[in-house]
Structure 1
Amino acid sequence: MAIDLTAFRAHFPSLDTGLAFFDGPGGTQTPGPVAEAIASTMTAPLSNRGTISPSEVNAEQAVAEFRAAYADLLLAPANGIVHGRSATQLTYDFSRHLAKQWNADDEIILSRLDHDANVRPWLQAAARTGMEVRWIEIVPETTELDFESFERALSARTRLVAVTAASNVLGTKPPVRRIADLAHEIGALVYVDGVHYAAHNLVDIRSLGADMFVCSPYKFLGPHCGVLAAAPDLLENLRPDKLLPSPETVPERFEFGTLPYEVLAGATAAVDFLAAMAPGAETSRRRRLERSAASMHDHELELRTRLQDGLASFGEAVTVHSKAPDRTPTLLMTLRDRDARDAQFHLAARKVVAPAGSFYAHEPFTALNLTDPALRAGLAPHNTADDVDRLLDGLASFLGV
């Protein structure tokens, strides 16, 4: 069922500004119901969690509903859902938790395709431990991961493979399940950065083969925070540094300090909003999410095709670096003899938001010799064909083509 785009967009106050947003990989716009959930939680009776006063119960309910919502979104156990300030913070935390079990004879495998948030924490943990780091390389011609380089890197000493499910700059979706299957054969864990992937695909962490999966609700219409999903028995085996009186239960032992209940409520509302994108007769939230995800995929693919075709008409004036057959609706491009930052300013003057930079993707930019800054056009569910045409018209006037 197609999304009623007019009705859908009416929920986003920021769209009333007339701006066309192509910075979805950096964060989507926020619908009214998400902001309302945050405000109503903050203005209702609220205190630390408990079971006696209404304010305690409200806090407890916000946490329980958050875990249930992300259990449905990621197809993970509710008691395996960990809240964090961001995916970066969660990855730093879990790199330290896991490193307690490693020694200098161990190895980890990282990917040249990844955002630095799934690279630097592991590199720094490895440096402290003295363990070796091996790499999965990129095939420049296709911007896909070189699977053979992964097979060469894997050994009986491998303790963890950290890999993205989708590149935040190129859109490339690597074969995470194939990687996970081989890693699991030798007993290694697989840590998946799903920040960009979860914005465009319905997640099933078991189908992906992810032992730990992180995502960020603000990439899919929610507030700024991070979520980690893992099997509870895996979490039971990890012992973080924590305050003595703080809970020892999983997943609470990984959540330091008082939780931001209003943010949890907003993150829950984002999942419910996504589930209602393409109304149908399904009763379970997971089934509604499946329906909405299919409609969103069709919508974004149509827009991506329109954008690709338009960029192709510019000939050699634009080089699109997003080449993988299996990828998200995110296109990275460089402009012949022109600075992408100037293009960003030119588009912004026309109320088109398309950022230029390297977007914390240090490894892909280095591996592919990409020019920094490059221009990134990332689509989101609230984009329209008119948005795409405005971006193409703005680029055409900037390039003089």
Structure 2
Amino acid sequence: MAIDVTALRADFPALDHGLAFFDGPGGTQTPRPVAEAIATTLTGPLSNRGTLSVSEANAERTVAEFRAAYADMLNVPAAGVVHGRSATQLTYDFSRHLAKTWRPGDEIVLSRLDHDCNVRPWVQAAARTGVTVRWMEIESKSKELDLHAYAHALSPRTRLVAVTAASNVLGTKPPLRRIADLAHEHGALVYVDGVHYAAHDLVDVPAMGADLFVCSPYKFLGPHCGVLAAAPELLETIQPDKLLPSSNAVPERFEFGTLPYEMLAGATAAVDYLAAMDPGPRTSRRERLAHSLAALHEHEDALRTRLEDGLRALGDAVTLHSQAADRTPTLLMTLDGRDARQAQVHLAARGVLAPAGSFYAYEPFTALRLTDPALRAGLAPYNTAEDVDRFLDGLASFTAT
């Protein structure tokens, strides 16, 4: 099982510019088949959904193919796939939908590990409804969630637990099934931010114990949009505010206005591209995704090891904060006595893109007292050992000055 990275890279026009991209956690580069799917759909013929013309049928087919693709990718029924502009937008929407049933004295549990997308919408919804917010804290040494304290944060009044599947800055992957099982024992829903996780691992929403799961195709080679997945039976119980004439069917009741069919087509093409990265047996798309993502895991882990070994060789000049036993190939680092933004500029001048900042991870940076900005290097399918060496050489020259 191996990805032909040379062949894969030929599909990415952005790589022709000679840049080494380590900014994948903020959004990956786009392969040609995804861009072509967007252009072909947009230039049509294309109309609003219907059955009377080829243009209407194209729209209907595009929506159906999108739902089918993400049903395969996330292991949920197609009727449980909701399109949104972004994971942030979807989380804000569902925080409002769910908070309709909350009452003063109810409680929710949030995670200090999370991107603010999976924190602030819930905090604000709790403030509006008089709900108490409790926290899963991060253990400072391991950079993992304190599950003992989490168990004590739960109560019969807990209505929701919101947690990431993988930290977008530290890479930490918490034990979701254990977290979800404890939440379900108290009758709480589990809302999982899978934006960073879905870029690196095969998602199985039921196996995770997630009741609602969000991800963003632009983090895994697709266009800028968001996807929410849930059991259709659960979605039937959630009543959003909506226009009176619009459909009340699930999942359409959560998709406001005309869908961007071209974005849906691109998001579908991204799933198909992932499924074909490592050609395997001609089985179901879900099985091909599992095969390809296992190969991707192997490829990215090898590069992560090379990167970590190189960073350790720089000694005290670099402090690596990604320490969890189970984590993605995303590394957060600070530089002894140096400004990470200057390092970003230094690397960019050498054709290496590695961003500096706090990356909307307000809670982790505050809880762990991390220096803002910090430097983040994230790996993607198109990265190579040569990319890693360019990054390490550039960082070594920066720390030596």
Q: TM-score range by the shorter chain?
A: over 0.9
Give, in whole Å, the separation in 1 of the partners of 2:281 and 2:208.
28
Residue 339 (structure 2) aligns with? 339
Give, in whole Å, the separation in 1 of the partners of 2:309 and 2:360.
27
Residue 91 (structure 2) aligns with? 91
Residue 145 (structure 1) aligns with? 145
Residue 390 (structure 1) aligns with? 390
Q: Does 1:266 align with 2:266?
A: yes
Q: Which amino acid in 1 is paired with 2:288?
A: R
Instruction: Output one character per residue of 1:80-103: Cα deviation in whole Å (capped at 9) or x when no partner.
Output: 000000000000000000000110
Residue 307 (structure 2) aligns with? 307
Residue 57 (structure 1) aligns with? 57
DSSP-derived class of the 2:281 partner: coil
Give, in whole Å, the separation in 2 of the partners of 1:282 and 1:211.
31
- Residues 218-297 of structure 1: pairs in structure 2 closer than 5 A: 218-297=218-297
Give, in whole Å, the separation in 2 of the partners of 1:191 and 1:234.
12
Give, in whole Å, the separation in 1 of the partners of 2:212 and 2:250.
14
Give, in whole Å, the separation in 2 of the partners of 1:130 and 1:102.
8
Give, in whole Å, the separation in 2 of the partners of 1:158 and 1:281.
45
DSSP-derived class of the 2:210 partner: coil
Residue 216 (structure 1) aligns with? 216
Give, in whole Å, the separation in 1 of the partners of 2:254 and 2:91.
12
Instruction: Output one character per residue of 1:279-331: Cα deviation in whole Å (capped at 9) or x when no partner.
Output: 01132101100100110000000000000000000111000000001000000
Instruction: Output one character per residue of 1:222-253: Cα deviation in whole Å (capped at 9) or x when no partner.
Output: 00000000000100001100000000000000
Residue 24 (structure 2) aligns with? 24
Give, in whole Å, the separation in 1 of the partners of 2:169 and 2:82.
26
Q: Does 1:104 align with 2:122?
A: no
Q: 1:66 deviation in Å?
A: 0.1
Q: Does 1:48 align with 2:78?
A: no
Residue 79 (structure 2) aligns with? 79
- Residues 170-189 of structure 1: pairs in structure 2 closer than 5 A: 170-189=170-189
Instruction: Output one character per residue of 1:192-233: Cα deviation in whole Å (capped at 9) or x when no partner.
Output: 000000000000001100000000000000000000000001
Query: Structure 2 unaligned runs (5+)?
Result: none
DSSP-derived class of the 1:393 partner: helix
Give, in whole Å, the separation in 1 of the partners of 2:164 and 2:43.
38
Give, in whole Å, the separation in 2 of the partners of 1:186 and 1:43.
50
Q: 1:135 deviation in Å?
A: 0.2
Q: Does 1:70 align with 2:70?
A: yes
Give, in whole Å, the separation in 1 of the partners of 2:206 and 2:178.
13
Between the aligned residues of both structures, percent identity stands at 77
Give, in whole Å, the separation in 1 of the partners of 2:282 and 2:328.
26
Q: Which amino acid in 1 is paired with 2:329?
A: P
Q: Which amino acid in 1 is paired with 2:71?
A: A
Q: Which amino acid in 1 is paired with 2:374?
A: A
Q: 1:126 deviation in Å?
A: 0.1
Give, in whole Å, the separation in 1 of the partners of 2:149 and 2:113.
13
Instruction: Output one character per residue of 1:354-379: Cα deviation in whole Å (capped at 9) or x when no partner.
Output: 00000000000000000000000000
Q: 1:44 deviation in Å?
A: 1.5
Q: So what's the TM-score if we normalise by structure 1?
A: 1.00
Give, in whole Å, the separation in 2 of the partners of 1:105 and 1:320.
41
Q: So what's the TM-score if we normalise by structure 2?
A: 1.00
Give, in whole Å, the separation in 2 of the partners of 1:240 and 1:63.
21
Q: 1:18 deviation in Å?
A: 0.4
Q: Which amino acid in 2 is paired with 1:383?
A: N
Query: Structure 1 unaligned runs (5+)?
Result: none
Structure 1 residue ranges (4+ consecutive) displaced by more than 3 angstroms after TM superposition: none
- Residues 193-204 of structure 1: pairs in structure 2 closer than 5 A: 193-204=193-204
RMSD: 0.6
* Greater alpha carbon shift after TM alignment, 112-121 vs 273-282: 273-282
Give, in whole Å, the separation in 2 of the partners of 1:115 and 1:237.
27
Give, in whole Å, the separation in 1 of the partners of 2:269 and 2:367.
39
Q: Does 1:367 align with 2:367?
A: yes
Q: 1:152 deviation in Å?
A: 1.1
Residue 8 (structure 1) aligns with? 8
DSSP-derived class of the 2:69 partner: helix
Q: Which amino acid in 1 is paired with 2:138?
A: I
Q: Which amino acid in 2 is paired with 1:211?
A: D
Residue 130 (structure 1) aligns with? 130
Q: Which amino acid in 2 is paired with 1:385?
A: A
Q: 1:167 deviation in Å?
A: 0.1
DSSP-derived class of the 1:145 partner: coil
Give, in whole Å, the separation in 2 of the partners of 1:344 and 1:146.
33
Give, in whole Å, the separation in 1 of the partners of 2:269 and 2:7.
17
DSSP-derived class of the 1:397 partner: helix
